[in-house]
Structure 1
Amino acid sequence: MSNHLYPLASLVQIEQTPSREDGIPESLEEDLRAYGCKLIYQAGILLQQKQVAVATAQILFQRFWFVTSMKQFGVGDVGMGALYLSSKLEECPLRMRDIINVYDVLLQRASHSIGPKADQQFRYYPMSYFGDTFYNLKEALVVAEMQILKRLGFNVHVVLPYNTLVNYLRLLGLGSNKEVCSRAWGYLNDALQTPVYAMYQIPTIVCASILLATRHLSIALPSEPPTCWWELFDTLWDDVWSVSGHIMRLYRPESSEETQLVVGMLTKKDVRRWLEENATVLPRP
């Protein structure tokens, strides 16, 4: 699988993303990426969208932040644009109006969770289709879709890992182990909330999901040279271990302060306000 068909971020982009150049800490950027992917996933469920389109949207979302700063575009807006674009790419189109409605619900609920009435039950207040909210969200969606295409150079080819996982498990003699298959499949889905699909090739990510699944189930695989199981799939241990770390980071406990910070930075205005209040580096020229 060549990088030409499956574009990956360069080492320079990985070490210093545009958001980090603008002063957003690495940990906060990763949390915002993960939350943006959660919104895409939740929207996909509410819209009854196919899993393949939701996964494609999350991967495009992650790629976008290697070429653009969160200071320029909001996480929520780009999520809408990615979901709308992926629905066309995977030939299961969604209506723009439906996406806007669903994201309005999700954003209202997120705002409620950090507001003064967070301890009260959330109640959704529908927006007016002739009001500013609808037209602002519509404009944000259209702009986000165009910017994703433009900044990714129209290279929106996405390879999903599920067929590869099935083949690898069969080769390892685990194809009939339902628990291993289920856990590894789940880890692949969890990895969509991390940048790994824009950093590593699919075989590496699949091997990481198998590693996590077999270790958590205490299933031994050949791991001593010259019979290391991951070498069967032309992957490097350091890369597999790195991807595993990205996935397991999602399971770390988060404080209420961290959650409130992330939820309060879903728009570019919120990000710029936070940067002004916590400026530690000079902005990019």
Structure 2
Amino acid sequence: MSANYWTSSQYKNNLYTKSELNDIRLSLFTQELQKYGNYWLTIPLQFKDQESGSNKQISIYAKELHYDRDYNLRIYLYLQLMKLGKKFQLKQVIVSTAMIYVQRFLLKCSIKECNVYYLITTCLYLASKVEECPIHIKSLNLIAKSYWPDFIHSDCTKITEFEFYLIEELKSYMIVYHPYESLKQILHSFTDYVKTNINNDEQNSIENYLFNYEYLQDTWAIINDSYVTDAHLLYPPHIIAVTSLMLSIVLKGEQLDQKIENSRKIIKDIENKKNTEKYNSKSQTINKTTNSDIGSTINSVSNTTNTNNNDPKDFIIPNEEYDEMLINLGLTGDNTVQSKTVVKDSVSPNIANPESTELEEDNFQFTELKEQLKQNCLEKEMIQKKIAMFNEFVALSLINMQHIEDCFKDIMVLYQFWTGYSVAGQGAKYEKIQKNKYNEEWIRFLLYRVYQSKT
């Protein structure tokens, strides 16, 4: 057993470049065509076209059932392996080791030459023994048969037979190094770097530069998802750990930006609504004051001329004459006159009673939104400090930045497919892409038809 990754079989024998992986899988794909032919790889499927409304004949070619050509199959195998591991409450490192075995095995053999459900079960059984946490083969076979009754036999010796076949194809290279331990070492080194490179005045606020449990939890989840990609066949564990940590920071910053934008929009809407209500209440006050003055003028005129006119409440002021009438009445441009009319009016509560305005400003929801916005802005500043300090740390550590960039792209492509979203435009807004949405029913149907046609 090697205690050092750089002298281990994983680094010497199971680390590839992208061109090498493409050549290996292309040769495997060519062997599939020569052995089975196009007819066996093609499955007719009837479905109704939404545009024309007529039935169309769809041919399912090998790319949907080849591990490097479709993320549906990768995600499906990973989720089935996770489901089986959770049933036995296994550690995450055991499931991750089993997923590495699945990836390495599918570089040697076609998925059409084996039963993937037996592959998942056997890889988990072998990984539990390698990670020194074995599970009983009868219990494993019983649970696997309950999940996939059409593909798992009741005889548990089938798993034992597949185990020897798996060890032979993997050339007995069973030790796997994971990014989890590298992540712990990186965080420990980063903590020491921060302590020695910040000012003495900032020693009390050193937590602003370090990563708390929330970042560690997000990074751990991203590392778990990275086993769906080819990252563990292309990059050393520390590259995946650094990439996952940086991606967790970026995602956290984007979430905060979205929260800040939403809070500001809601606060702006509330303020606009309040300003509109104040303007309407003030307009009502001016209208009532104007109507009372005009009514008194009309009454005086009627008393002088001894003529009966309409009631002042029925007097209508045209909108286009409103400003001119206010000027004539001295209600605009003269603050003293306007203030007197405001004091005389006891009908409008927002103007005559300033306490109601204060109560409105002290609205709990509005105050809470402002406080939340303030906290999010402070947290955004802290994230920017973390990013700046961590970038300096990575630059001084002499880590291959090209590997980090390539690994970053691989994981983002996975998330875009898995969630069905992708970034559209420079505004970093997300739009949904249904064609890239993960479809578990689709891949389960394909595997069922392939294995049925073989039997």
Taking structure 2 as the reference length, the TM-score comes to 0.48
Which of 66, 89, 93 is the equivalent residue of 1:48? Answer: 89
Aligned to 2:217: 182
Aligned to 1:147: 165
Partners of 1:98 and 1:24 lie apart in 2 by: 35
Answer yes or no: is 1:263 the counterpart of 2:444. Answer: yes
Name the structure, 1 or 2, with higher relative contact order (CA <8 Å, separation 6+): 1
Matches of residues 27-42 of structure 1 in structure 2 within 5 Å? 28-42=69-83
Partners of 2:161 and 2:446 lie apart in 1 by: 19
Aligned to 2:408: 244
Partners of 1:228 and 1:66 lie apart in 2 by: 38
What amino acid maps onto 1:270 in structure 2? V
Partners of 1:234 and 1:140 lie apart in 2 by: 48
Query: By how many angstroms is 1:271 displaced?
Result: 6.3
Matches of residues 4-15 of structure 1 in structure 2 within 5 Å? 4-6=8-10, 7-11=13-17, 12-15=19-22
Q: Does the 8 Å contact 1:80/1:144 carry over to 2? A: no
Structure 2 unmatched ranges of 5 or more: 33-61, 192-208, 254-382, 421-433
What amino acid maps onto 1:8 in structure 2? N
Q: Does the 8 Å contact 1:169/1:181 carry over to 2? A: no
Matches of residues 132-211 of structure 1 in structure 2 within 5 Å? 133-135=153-155, 138-173=156-191, 176-211=211-246
Distance 1:46 1:68, change over 3 A: same
Paired positions, count: 248
Query: By how many angstroms is 1:258 displaced?
Result: 3.7
Pairwise CA RMSD of aligned residues? 3.2
Distance 1:166 1:82, change over 3 A: same
Bigger share in helix = 2
Q: Does the 8 Å contact 1:64/1:152 carry over to 2? A: yes
Partners of 1:191 and 1:51 lie apart in 2 by: 13
Structure 1 unmatched ranges of 5 or more: 112-126, 275-285
The percentage of aligned residue pairs carrying the same residue is 20
User: After alignment, is 231-240 or 145-154 more displaced?
Assistant: 231-240
Answer yes or no: is 1:235 the counterpart of 2:431. Answer: no
Partners of 2:234 and 2:445 lie apart in 1 by: 27
Which of 120, 133, 138 is the equivalent residue of 1:92? Answer: 133
Deviations along 1:237-283, whole A, 9 cap, x unmatched?
3322222233231433266884323122446x726959xxxxxxxxx
Q: If you compute each CA radius of gyration, which structure gives the higher value, 1 or 2?
A: 2
Aligned to 2:327: none
Deviations along 1:8-43, whole A, 9 cap, x unmatched?
243354114165443435664443232212111111
Q: Does the 8 Å contact 1:19/1:70 carry over to 2? A: no
Distance 1:257 1:52, change over 3 A: closer
SS of residue paired to 1:217? helix
Q: Does the 8 Å contact 2:72/2:438 carry over to 1? A: no
Q: Does the 8 Å contact 2:102/2:119 carry over to 1? A: yes
Q: Does the 8 Å contact 2:419/2:438 carry over to 1? A: no
Partners of 2:159 and 2:219 lie apart in 1 by: 33
Query: By how many angstroms is 1:84 displaced?
Result: 0.7
Aligned to 2:142: 101
Q: Does the 8 Å contact 1:81/1:145 carry over to 2? A: yes
Answer yes or no: is 1:24 the counterpart of 2:38. Answer: no
Q: Does the 8 Å contact 2:105/2:169 carry over to 1? A: yes
Query: By how many angstroms is 1:209 displaced?
Result: 0.3
What amino acid maps onto 2:6 in structure 1? S
Query: By how many angstroms is 1:190 displaced?
Result: 1.1
